[in-house]
Amino acid sequence: MPKAQSPIMPATETDAILGYLNGRNIVLIGLMGAGKTSVGRRLAARLNMPFTDADTEIEIAAGKTVPEIFTDHGEEHFRQGECRVIERLLNSGQQVLATGGGAYMNAVTRENIAKHGVCVWLRAELPLLMKRVSRRNNRPLLLDGNPEETMKQLMDERHPVYARADIVVDSRDEPHDVIVADIIAALNDLAGNQ
């Protein structure tokens, strides 16, 4: 006979995590190239949650690509749209949300994420980030000057702020599913310790 499920001891890891989240979102933060979108998509599938990429939603809302928004209106305009779109997404049903690398630097966005989500920082070393971002030419912040110097500067500025996340997971040069497993384990720890 199957064992009756106890409300105190959830049947599966996923149930424990979903119970802990209690409707809140999982929000991925980290630098360009950390793997937020690829890892986020797989994490969402594992937890049977919808996945959203904030940059894609910003592009849909603006009817322009991120580089076009930067060129036509400037970074400040992009940041305002980013803050608005993330607030809307955080309030539109439980999901895994991947944010652009600069999003968490905005104090209002940080507050919104804290209110409506559990925040996961995908931390990565410079060589991995550079290897990943060099594959594509779609990051306006890396188009001028020396991309590696820019990335180093962004690491200095942003890592202390990213460190406020609820969970920190090291994004390594491993299959994305390995990183997903680390996030699941960390969420499970939080769920067990609440």
Instruction: Name the residues that contact ligand S3P, by CB under 6 A.
Output: 32, 36, 55, 66, 100-102, 139-141
Side-chain-side CA neighbours of residue 76 (13 Å): 0
Does residue 134 contact residue 62 with C-beta atoms inside 8 Å?
no
Least Å distance, CB 3 to ligand S3P, is 43
Nearer to ligand S3P, 50 or 140 (CB): 140
Does residue 86 contact residue 114 with C-beta atoms inside 8 Å?
no
Taking CA atoms, 48 is separated from 3, 14, 186, in Å, by 24, 9, 17
Residue the block writes with tokens 């290897």: 131
Q: Token pair for residue 96? A: 């895994």
Nearer to ligand S3P, 97 or 187 (CB): 97
Q: Which residue sits closest to ligand S3P, CB atoms considered? A: 100
Least Å distance, CB 47 to ligand S3P, is 21
Burial class (CB in 10 A: 0-12, 13-18, 19+), 165: buried
Least Å distance, CB 158 to ligand S3P, is 8
Least Å distance, CB 129 to ligand S3P, is 10
Nearer to ligand S3P, 13 or 172 (CB): 172
Nearer to ligand S3P, 28 or 187 (CB): 28
Nearer to ligand S3P, 17 or 86 (CB): 86
Least Å distance, CB 102 to ligand S3P, is 3
Does residue 161 contact residue 20 with C-beta atoms inside 8 Å?
no
Residue type (1 letter), 86: I
Q: Token pair for residue 139? A: 């990051």
